[in-house]
């Protein structure tokens, strides 16, 4: 929050939440990227009816990627594991084994080991049993990726709604005007300066870290936070609270 104007009887402050907007943009872009890249359905089909072949098709929001090879190249399948040493957890994906090398069922790993084992079992049975004329295996990750990406993107879009806040303290008119401008419209809040009892910095603790916001306390006990959210940089917020208190002669 910056001081736009300061005289003996008038103090104007403005907060432009640029970093909040940047964070919101990053979150929104990340959410849409998750949907575009990982919301996929993968289908693996093989047939012993002419023409005998196998086809792996990955279909997503942006494109469809087919990969085809001869049935006689198919040798089996296995579950590939990826370990995260720092968290002690593992994720998995299916690998199709061919005479020409390994073909990943998906480009990414996930935690559902049992479903991967089922797919591997079906492919193995197909290879070992010539009486099975066709095979179709599918892994559909669209629902979870739409959900995860949608939550992240929605959080980012909500963050982009953070408003420009302008506070006008006018001793001549004995009026405090808080103007909040954003994509959702403009809102005005007015109170008498004589109603202001204190100006303080509120603190929020989450995950061993602290964030802050400047809040006006009225004589009635009601509180008027300048923002709906908390952010870092306690020092600047404390300086702003002290500036307002000094202007209103609230220092005790």
| Higher pLDDT pick, 37 / 247 | 247
- What angle, rounded to 10 degrees, do the helices at 142-159 and 18-38 form? 170
Domain boundary among 82, 105, 140: 140
Predicted pLDDT of residue 190: 93
d(CA 111, CA 134): 28
Q: What percent of the chain clears pLDDT 90, i.e. is strictly above it?
A: 56
Check whether residue 134 and residue 168 sit in a common domain. no
Check whether residue 191 and residue 225 sit in a common domain. yes
Check whether residue 52 and residue 123 sit in a common domain. yes
Predicted pLDDT of residue 48: 92
Check whether residue 89 and residue 168 sit in a common domain. no
Task: Tell the burial category of 12 from Cβ atoms under 10 Å away from its Cβ (0-12, 13-18, 19+).
Answer: middle
Predicted pLDDT of residue 87: 63
Q: Encode pLDDT of 184-211 as tens digits.
A: 788 899 999 999 999 999 998 887 788 9
Q: What integer is the mean pLDDT of 223-246?
A: 88
Q: What integer is the mean pLDDT of 240-244?
A: 91
Q: How many domains does the chain have?
A: 2
Boundaries of domain holding 184: 2-16+163-247
Q: Please say if the pLDDT value at position 2 is more than 90.
A: no
Q: Encode pLDDT of 29-61 as tens digits.
A: 999 988 888 888 999 999 998 888 999 999 888
Check whether residue 129 and residue 218 sit in a common domain. no
Domain boundary among 105, 140, 175: 140
Query: Per mean pLDDT, which range of 8-12, 18-22, 187-191 is the poorest?
Result: 18-22
Decide if 47 is inside a domain. yes
Question: Could you please report the per-residue DSSP string of 87-120?
Answer: TTEEEEEEEEEETTEEEESSSS-BS-HHHHHHHH
Check whether residue 129 and residue 175 sit in a common domain. no
The domain that contains 176 carries what CATH number? 2.30.29
Q: Please say if the pLDDT value at position 221 is more than 80.
A: yes
Q: Encode pLDDT of 130-179 as tens digits.
A: 999 999 999 998 888 899 999 999 988 888 878 888 999 999 999 999 99
The pair of structure tokens assigned to 235 is 């020092």
Predicted pLDDT of residue 45: 95
Predicted pLDDT of residue 18: 80
Decide if 158 is inside a domain. no
Q: Please say if the pLDDT value at position 216 is more than 70.
A: yes
Decide if 147 is inside a domain. no
Q: Please say if the pLDDT value at position 74 is more than 90.
A: yes
d(CA 27, CA 150): 10
Q: Which residues contact 219 (CB under 8 A, 6 or more apart)?
A: 195, 196, 197
Q: Please say if the pLDDT value at position 8 is more than 70.
A: yes
Check whether residue 133 and residue 49 sit in a common domain. yes
Question: Phi and psi dihedrals of 27, rounded to 5?
Answer: -65, -45
Q: Please say if the pLDDT value at position 86 is more than 70.
A: no
Check whether residue 172 and residue 230 sit in a common domain. yes
Domain boundary among 108, 140, 172: 140
Check whether residue 7 and residue 45 sit in a common domain. no
Predicted pLDDT of residue 88: 67
- pTM assigned to the model: 0.61
Decide if 24 is inside a domain. no
């Amino acid at each position: 929050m910056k001081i736009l104007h300061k005289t003996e009887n008038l103090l104007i402050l403005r907060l432009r939440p640029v970093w909040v907007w940047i964070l919101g943009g990053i979150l929104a872009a990340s959410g849409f990227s998750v949907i575009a890249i990982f919301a996929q359905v993968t289908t693996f089909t093989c047939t012993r009816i002419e023409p005998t072949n196998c086809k792996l098709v990955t279909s997503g929001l942006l494109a469809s990627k087919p990969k085809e090879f001869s049935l006689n190249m198919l040798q089996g399948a296995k579950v590939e594991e990826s370990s995260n040493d720092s968290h002690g957890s593992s994720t998995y994906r299916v690998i199709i084994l061919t005479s020409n090398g390994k073909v990943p069922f998906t480009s990414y790993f996930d935690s559902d080991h049992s479903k991967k084992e089922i797919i591997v079992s079906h492919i193995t049975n197909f290879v070992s049993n010539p009486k099975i004329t066709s095979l179709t295996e599918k892994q559909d990750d669209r629902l979870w990726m739409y959900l995860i990406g949608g939550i992240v993107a929605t959080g980012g879009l909500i963050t982009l709604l953070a408003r420009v806040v302008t506070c006008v303290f006018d001793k001549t008119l004995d009026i405090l005007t808080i103007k909040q401008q954003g994509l959702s419209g403009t809102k005005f809040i007015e109170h008498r300066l004589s109603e202001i009892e204190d100006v303080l910095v509120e603190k929020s603790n989450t995950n061993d870290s602290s964030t802050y916001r400047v809040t006006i306390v009225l004589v009635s006990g009601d509180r008027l936070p300048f923002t709906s959210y908390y952010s870092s940089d306690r020092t600047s917020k404390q300086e702003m609270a002290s500036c307002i208190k000094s202007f209103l002669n609230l220092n005790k």
